[in-house]
Chains A and B, each alone.
Chain A
Amino acid sequence: MTGLRRTLLTPQGVAVLAGLVLVALAAALGPVLLEHAATTRNIADRQLPASWAHPFGTDELGRDLLARTVVATRLSVLLTLGAAGISVAGGVVLGVVAAVLPRAARRLVTAFIDIMLSFPWLLLALFFSVIWGATARGAMLAIGFAGIPVFARLVSTLTAAVATTDYVHAARLLGSSSGRTAVRHVLPNILPPLVVNTAAHASVTLLSFAALSFLGLGVQPPEYDWGRLLNEGSKRIYTAPMAAIGPGIAIVLTGVLFSLLGELLSQSRPRTVHAVTAQDGSSRPVPAEGDAVVEVTDLRVSFRGDDGTLVQRVRGVDLTIAPGEVVGIVGESGSGKSVTAMAVAGLLGPEALVESERLVFRGIDMTRRPSAAERRRLGLEEAMIFQDPLSSLNPALTVGRQLTEASETHAGTSHAAASARAAEALSLVRIPDPPRRLRQLPHELSGGMRQRAMIATGLMGTPRLIIADEPTTALDVTVQRQVMRALRDAREQTGAAILLISHDIALVSGFCDRIVVMRDGVVVERLAADRLGEAEHPYTRGLIACVPDMRTDRSRALPVIGVAAQEEVLP
């Protein structure tokens, strides 16, 4: 709820809220307060143009048009809400029924929805209004029914997404009937997008009423809504323009209001953090002293939390990586290990606030915007391997194109030379038949092969640092072995340093020279990989002990550490 409150407190939120209150007041009180002014005939004052006494002028019977516009709010808004309600209710029923039915019946209902969708919406509205006649209620039914197919389609699509979730599967296994599942699981979960669309749809509905009434099919005299006022006013548009513009303003403003409401409800604005002003020149990091590949001192990274406050996720990390060194960062989710790696790679977006005393990659100050030359060097000297290679490789480009891209853009290598190099890189990571693989798209490669192709991409430049963020977490152990071997080969070939991020302390200890253990954004311990047995910090020791291996004593419970230990409720 705090999210909603924060949304409502933005300028747009305040404006929408104020507008809604205004419309509600006009609808509730308008007919009570202004009924007299809106209905009193005054032939002497008929068809007056706009004046201070009558801002919108008067009609042919001398009634004040401003008063009539305000009074018409109630009918216009009620008709709109009624029609939108019919559309939504009908759509939900049809859409959910379509999703719950057995396959054959479901196809039939879906096909029916598709057929209805293929008719222009206004055509349906006109068709229905012929059936129900040219009255206010007829128009409401017509527009309401014409909107059902759109919502039915929306609901059935949303429902289909919810219906394949594990919690719906679980409910089915537990014997929950389709009806019960629809009410208890499906409806609550499709509600948010539905509400957003309803608000947007209300705006369209309002306009269609205006259109129908304008055509003379909607509200009939002596009743009047904005559409009818607009219709009457339009006949005198050249002599008394405000008679048409006045109701027009009401329609447009209310329509915009509904649209804005929909937009507001759907909004999940990215929470960007403005970087604090760059430090003054004196504290600027001096370019690399010594020859470390990476030097990080007192790195702090913050993100905006749900309640809008800054939350520090990395809290003062120091990290130095020497050339050719293999360093592993181990930690559980939320430890800040990946954020640290992203900061080192300079890949954190505007949603992160990065502060540090020093954040240097081979003499390049990563806290500032890199210059063109520095960017080129970063592109060639730093390689990044992510957990999911399918999302870090572009699915629409061939593997070869993605391998050669970096060296062609950054090093200006010719295409032929780059292609030869790419084939070489693929064979280095032991991908068989490189020329064929280079022509394939990422999805044609297996998971382990894609990850090795990512490593090959890093080899295309002159990598000094390869950052691998959980590179094998999504892979099987046998494939993990192939990927780790490719990483090792890459290091032997290029002499690049490696920063390996993983939750698997056994893997890290078997691959790295040094291990950095992180927890809650701070480094709790640093130790040599072959000295794991000498770990001093209780968290490191717990992390080592809590993972069962092939020699774990099966007759004893595993030690419980960290947050998990605090959460335990003992009976």
Chain B
Amino acid sequence: MSELEFDHVTVRFGHGRSLQTAVDDASLVVRSGTTLGLVGESGSGKSTIARVAVGLERADAGSVRLDGVDLTARSREARLARRLVQMVFQDPLAALDPRMPVGASVAEGLLASGRSPNRADREARVRELLELVHVDPARAGDRPARFSGGQRQRLTIARALAAEPAVLVADEITSALDVSVQGVVLNLLRELQAELRLTMLFISHNLAVVRYVSDEVSVMRQGRIVEHGPTDAVLEDPADPYTRELLRSIPVMGRPLDLEDL
């Protein structure tokens, strides 16, 4: 069981006249073993939600709970629970230390598991993880610069998985990648979902990508959740006008762009 629940979360930036509400009273539930897709345009607050979940941003109101434990609290219990929520970042190059061998980066993930394995066990585990994400374990000593974009993103996924997370937060993890590489990363996620029964919050501005990996979809706009439901229901029969506009804006292969009456 691992259920991530956002309960009336509000995040504001700045103060005085420049006060901006990035997330406005948003509630979401990522059910155990399922993937919740969160779509929205840039500035809609979807990334802020992700950062609140892992503790990189503080919520001004509301709470985020993992199986009932409030992640926003300062207790030791909350700190340990926060390690069970791991994040994969948008730009894999920025998310890997350029001067650290990738094997060591992946091994860093083991810190969060709370165990302190000896060297041999650690190496075995890193090897296992690299194989899981289809990166040649023999290259564990190489620096990130020697890997392609897709491989780097798979490495950051391996690092997150090393922490044995209850919930994985994926923030626009394919938007910095080439389309062919995006396919590989999406396939990997599907594989992991099936193998590890991963609970995941998948954030993207790309509706087609969200549709491909998610069981449920939430649509966010200007800090609010405007629509939520099972993937097929939301995308086939959107209730919110914004969702409809979003769907209409997606270019379809081989069909002239619909550019009329915006």
Q: For B96, B98, B258, B259, which residue has the most chain A Cβ atoms within 10 angstroms?
A: B259
CA separation between A125 and B253, bound complex, in Å?
Answer: 71
Asked if B75 is an interface residue, CB under 8 A from chain A, the answer is no
> Quick check: B180 and A542 within 8 Å, CB to CB?
yes
CA separation between A66 and B4, bound complex, in Å?
Answer: 78
> Quick check: A170 and B87 within 8 Å, CB to CB?
yes
Q: Which of A507-556 contact B (CB under 8 A)?
A: 507, 509-511, 529-530, 532-533, 542-544, 546-550, 552, 554
> Quick check: B250 and A571 within 8 Å, CB to CB?
no
> Quick check: A174 and B98 within 8 Å, CB to CB?
no
Nearest-CB distance from A433 to chain B (Å)? 17
Mark each residue of chain B from 224 to 262: 1 if its CB lies under 8 Å from any CB of chain A, else 0.
Answer: 000000000001000000000111011111111111001
Asked if A505 is an interface residue, CB under 8 A from chain B, the answer is yes
> Quick check: A476 and B251 within 8 Å, CB to CB?
no
> Quick check: A571 and B132 within 8 Å, CB to CB?
yes
Asked if A119 is an interface residue, CB under 8 A from chain B, the answer is no
Flag the segment in B6-14, B17-25, B61-69, B181-189 that touches A.
Answer: B181-189
> Quick check: B136 and A547 within 8 Å, CB to CB?
no
Minimal Cβ-Cβ distance residue in A for B185? A564
> Quick check: B41 and A507 within 8 Å, CB to CB?
no
Contact check: which of B96, B182, B252 meets A506 at CB < 8 Å? B252
CA separation between A324 and B115, bound complex, in Å?
Answer: 65
> Quick check: B259 and A552 within 8 Å, CB to CB?
no
Cβ contacts under 8 Å, B256 to chain A: 510-511
Asked if B208 is an interface residue, CB under 8 A from chain A, the answer is yes
Cβ contacts under 8 Å, A533 to chain B: 254
Nearest-CB distance from A505 to chain B (Å)? 7
> Quick check: B148 and A549 within 8 Å, CB to CB?
no
> Quick check: B212 and A510 within 8 Å, CB to CB?
no
CA separation between A165 and B87, bound complex, in Å?
Answer: 14
CA separation between A542 and B180, bound complex, in Å?
Answer: 8
Nearest-CB distance from A180 to chain B (Å)? 8
> Quick check: A477 and B246 within 8 Å, CB to CB?
yes
Asked if A558 is an interface residue, CB under 8 A from chain B, the answer is yes
Asked if A479 is an interface residue, CB under 8 A from chain B, the answer is yes
Q: Which of A326-344 contact B (CB under 8 A)?
A: 332-333
Cβ contacts under 8 Å, B259 to chain A: 481, 484-485, 488
Asked if A561 is an interface residue, CB under 8 A from chain B, the answer is yes
CA separation between A378 and B262, bound complex, in Å?
Answer: 34
A558-B187, A569-B131, A570-B134 are known contacts. Are A543 and B254 too (CB-CB below 8 A)?
no
Interface size grouping (class) on chain A? 35 or more
Mark each residue of chain B from 169 to 213: 1 if its CB lies under 8 Å from any CB of chain A, else 0.
Answer: 000000000111111101100110000000000000111110110
> Quick check: B205 and A482 within 8 Å, CB to CB?
no
Nearest-CB distance from B13 to chain A (Å)? 16
Asked if B55 is an interface residue, CB under 8 A from chain A, the answer is yes
Nearest-CB distance from B100 to chain A (Å)? 7
> Quick check: A564 and B181 within 8 Å, CB to CB?
yes
Asked if A173 is an interface residue, CB under 8 A from chain B, the answer is yes
Mark each residue of chain B from 97 to 125: 1 if its CB lies under 8 Å from any CB of chain A, else 0.
Answer: 11110000100110110000000000000
Asked if B45 is an interface residue, CB under 8 A from chain A, the answer is no
Minimal Cβ-Cβ distance residue in B for A478? B249
> Quick check: B100 and A188 within 8 Å, CB to CB?
yes
Cβ contacts under 8 Å, A529 to chain B: 254
Asked if B156 is an interface residue, CB under 8 A from chain A, the answer is yes
Cβ contacts under 8 Å, B253 to chain A: 505-506, 509-510, 532, 544, 547, 549
Contact check: which of A506, A542, A543, A558 meets B251 at CB < 8 Å? A506
Minimal Cβ-Cβ distance residue in B for A546? B183
Minimal Cβ-Cβ distance residue in B for A563? B148
Asked if A232 is an interface residue, CB under 8 A from chain B, the answer is no
> Quick check: A477 and B112 within 8 Å, CB to CB?
no
A332-B179, A481-B262, A550-B207 are known contacts. Are A175 and B83 too (CB-CB below 8 A)?
yes
Minimal Cβ-Cβ distance residue in A for B79? A175
CA separation between A191 and B41, bound complex, in Å?
Answer: 38
Asked if A130 is an interface residue, CB under 8 A from chain B, the answer is no
Cβ contacts under 8 Å, A549 to chain B: 208, 250, 252-253
Contact check: which of B82, B150, B207 meets A564 at CB < 8 Å? B150
> Quick check: B112 and A174 within 8 Å, CB to CB?
yes
Asked if A368 is an interface residue, CB under 8 A from chain B, the answer is no
Cβ contacts under 8 Å, A509 to chain B: 251, 253-255
CA separation between A530 and B136, bound complex, in Å?
Answer: 41
> Quick check: B250 and A477 within 8 Å, CB to CB?
yes
CA separation between A559 and B183, bound complex, in Å?
Answer: 7
Minimal Cβ-Cβ distance residue in B for A446? B43
Minimal Cβ-Cβ distance residue in A for B98? A189
Asked if A265 is an interface residue, CB under 8 A from chain B, the answer is no
CA separation between A557 and B212, bound complex, in Å?
Answer: 10
Cβ contacts under 8 Å, B252 to chain A: 506, 510, 549-550
Contact check: which of B56, B179, B235 meets A543 at CB < 8 Å? B179
Cβ contacts under 8 Å, A505 to chain B: 179, 253
Cβ contacts under 8 Å, A54 to chain B: none
Asked if B26 is an interface residue, CB under 8 A from chain A, the answer is no
> Quick check: A552 and B205 within 8 Å, CB to CB?
no
Nearest-CB distance from B71 to chain A (Å)? 12
> Quick check: B136 and A569 within 8 Å, CB to CB?
yes
A167-B97, A550-B235, A567-B151 are known contacts. Are A507 and B247 too (CB-CB below 8 A)?
no
> Quick check: B211 and A548 within 8 Å, CB to CB?
yes
Cβ contacts under 8 Å, A532 to chain B: 253-254
> Quick check: A569 and B186 within 8 Å, CB to CB?
no
> Quick check: A560 and B180 within 8 Å, CB to CB?
yes
Contact check: which of A184, A476, A546 meets B180 at CB < 8 Å? A546
Asked if A220 is an interface residue, CB under 8 A from chain B, the answer is no
Using a CB–CB cutoff of 8 Å, the interface residues on chain B facing chain A are 41-42, 54-56, 82-83, 85-87, 89, 91, 94-100, 105, 108-109, 111-112, 131-132, 134-136, 148-151, 156, 159-160, 163, 178-184, 186-187, 190-191, 205-209, 211-212, 235, 245-247, 249-259, 262
Beyond known contacts A167-B97, A176-B108, A189-B98: 20 more, CB 8 A cutoff: A165-B95, A166-B89, A169-B95, A170-B89, A174-B83, A174-B111, A185-B97, A189-B97, A333-B149, A478-B246, A503-B179, A506-B251, A506-B254, A507-B251, A511-B257, A529-B254, A548-B186, A550-B211, A554-B211, A563-B148
What are 23 A-B residue pairs whose CB atoms fall within 8 Å in the complex?
A: A166-B89, A167-B94, A173-B82, A173-B163, A175-B111, A188-B97, A188-B99, A189-B97, A447-B42, A481-B249, A482-B262, A485-B262, A506-B251, A509-B254, A532-B254, A546-B182, A549-B253, A550-B235, A558-B184, A560-B183, A562-B180, A570-B134, A571-B131
Using a CB–CB cutoff of 8 Å, the interface residues on chain A facing chain B are 165-167, 169-176, 184-185, 188-189, 191, 332-333, 447, 476-482, 484-485, 488, 503-507, 509-511, 529-530, 532-533, 542-544, 546-550, 552, 554, 557-565, 567-571
